[in-house]
Amino acid sequence: VMWRKLLFILLSILNRTSHSFVVRKTVSPVLRLQSESDGADKTLTTSEDIDDGNAPAVDPRVVAAGDPPTMTAQQMMAALGTSPRRIFLSLSSATGIALVGNLFGVTSNLLMAVPESTVEASGLDTYFPRGEFKRCKGKGYTFVIPKEWVADTFVELAKVQKRVKALDYQMSRPPKNNVLPDAAYGPPGRLNERGVSQQGDTNVSVLVTKVMKGFSLRGTMGSPTSAAEFLLQKSIAPEGSGKVATLIDAFEDTIRNVYQFEYKVDRGAKRPPLQAISVIAARNGDTLLTLTVVAPAESWARQPELETKLRKVADSFHLVS
């Protein structure tokens, strides 16, 4: 019955904007109706004397063909089987469903009108994308990813297996250097024969590593450039790995209290080179958090839209209490 309600709304608007409705008569100027109760004559005047406030009821049997009587808003609602309360509830329900379901992206567009910091504080962007990005929250950190990206099920499965293995005392414990990302996301569609996503060349991951007590970025690792070169040589492209890392840029973001550096990794002739941005932060003096967003170097150069998204991911990473 939605079309009926829409018709009623249109008719109501026309009714409010019109000063009065006039019933035009083509029959004789005076119509006399005999009252069944007292026999008195009741007179219907011509169209000049009938308006929407004083018009008496008109018997449709005595109205000329093609001249329907005027209907008030209440009469129209009754004819359509509805009421103001039903219309209000229907519109409220439809609006609520549209907002909760993000119908046609209406909720995402509304969130774009609100400052990002306000939306982040409300937590709404963890349920609804704000524009082209949605928020991810971990233990003590947060960042945004493209709204079409999904969690890497390969990492999630490995984390579950690690937990199960730790509870089974008959199974050998995993090596201490087997570090799994605390979170990992990437574009959808990279699945193997078991339906599990494979680690692709375009992704973002967060590593949470315990370090020595009293750890700090500048006090322990030095300047952003020194810290970047150390990580490239010791972790990303160590000697003997067949990889060659080249630092592009390194700087300190004092607002987020992080070091951020960009670099390329040449993996040899068999695999394409990668370009990445890493963001590192220290927490509680004993924990190092590292976010790395990576993609093939060719994608950075030839896909400006993807590059913008990757840089947005890196720039959004920061610690939270």
CA of residue 215 relative to chain centroid, distance: 37
Q: What is the pLDDT of residues 13-70, one digit of tens each?
A: 555 544 443 334 334 343 444 444 444 444 444 444 444 445 455 454 444 445 556 7
Q: Check if the beta carbon of residue 138 is closer than 8 Å to that of residue 182.
A: yes
Query: What's residue 8's pLDDT?
Result: 57
Please give the mean pLDDT across all residues of the chain.
Answer: 74
Higher local confidence (pLDDT), 190 or 276 = 276
Q: What is the pLDDT of residues 262-319, one digit of tens each?
A: 999 999 888 899 999 999 999 999 999 999 999 999 999 999 999 999 999 999 999 9
Q: What is the DSSP string of 22-62?
A: -----S-S-EEEE-TTT--EEEE--GGG--TTTPPP--GGG
pTM confidence score = 0.64
One-letter amino acid identity for 250? A
Does the pLDDT of residue 198 top 60, yes or no? Answer: no
